[in-house]
Amino acid sequence: MKKILITDDVHPLLYEGLQQAGFEVHYKPTIKPAEVLDGINEYEGLIVNSKVYVGKEMLDKGTQLKFICRAGSGLEVFDLDYAQQKNVIAFNSPEGNRLAVAEFCLGALLNLMRNISKADGEVKNREWKREENRGFELTGKTIGMIAFGHTGQTFARLLRGFDVEILAYDKYYHNFTDKHVSQASLDEIFGKADVLSLHLPLTAETNYMIDYKFLSSFKKPYWLINTSRGKVLRTEDLLKCIAEKKILGAALDVLENEKINQLTEAEQATFDKLTTIRQIILSPHIAGWTHESKRKIAEVLLAKIHKIYAV
């Protein structure tokens, strides 16, 4: 019987569906990465989220592996080139959480522009500052998106009701201009955007792509949202641009190091700065984390695994 290992918490639909299809499923959401490595030679399939990195050592030891997949959207947890060399199929499930992330982006953007979190903290501290929290309306603004995959496209669809201009830049995806979204160059986004929303995968190419030069290239002050990966954005450069009033505010659902209790001294200093700036909203990588997306991710993975085996 074909064995599949699931290393993280997933919706029961996934492991129950795999069992019904005839697979032997080992569901071990508390397993440690070292334990995965020790036993990986037993499995044809491996389903992970973020705690297990599937690199050369794992792929070499997983002599029976036919597929590896991510219960989520990022593929940075896999050595994709080496997996291809080993004839191991690698895939993810961005279709499952794209709506969750897009809705979060919309909520975060409205929060930033209307000072909702800032005002909430002030009122709870018995500060009643109406004029200081006078916000901006989203309607009529220009939204710049960097990368236009599953999430960017879904966010664009949600924004249609706000009568905004949407400019999207994607190095690898082209010819997507329609009546709602215009394919744009970076220079066009730098020149017109009121909002910058990042939807980049983390790769060698995008690692710290959003640095001071990039952030300071915009012609007018803007709001920034990052729900992609923390290491596409250099946090110190973001802080510098906020101090220089180039950036009006930022919503960060992802950080360079998300193990916030294991920060280096330098990382801790940067994190402390983030927590003192009221124009910054922080959340613990929850944009794609809804009850609905948990089920949808399971449905997507189940369908893709069935397709591999033609179940």
Exactly one of 98, 229, 234, 256 is catalytic; name it. 229
| Active site (annotated) includes residue 258 | yes
Q: What's at 189, amino acid-wise?
A: I
Q: What is the DSSP string of 74-107?
A: --TTB-HHHHHHTT-EEE--HHHHHHHHHHHHHH
HEC letters along 129-168: CCHHHCCCCCCCCEEEEECCCHHHHHHHHHHHHHCCEEEE
Strand bridging mode 89-91 / 67-70: parallel
Q: What's at 101, amino acid-wise?
A: V
Q: What is the DSSP string of 158-219?
A: HHGGGT-EEEEE-SS------SSEEE--HHHHHHH-SEEEE-----TTTTT-B-HHHHTT-S
Take residue 79 and report the two structure tokens written for it: 């050595």
| Active site (annotated) includes residue 229 | yes
DSSP 57: H
Exactly one of 157, 285, 295, 299 is catalytic; name it. 285
Residues ≥6 apart with Cβ < 8 Å to 311: 21, 22, 305
Q: In degrees, to the nearest 5, what angle opens at C-alpha 15 toward C-alphas 12 and 17?
A: 95
Cα dist from 169 to 19, 95, 145, 175, whole Å:
42, 20, 6, 11
Query: Residues 11-44, buried b or exposed e (16+ Cβ, 10 A)?
Result: bebbbebbeeeebebebeeebeeeebbebbeebb
Which run of H or E residues covers position 32? none
Exactly one of 258, 278, 292, 306 is catalytic; name it. 258
Q: Which residues are catalytic?
A: 229, 258, 285
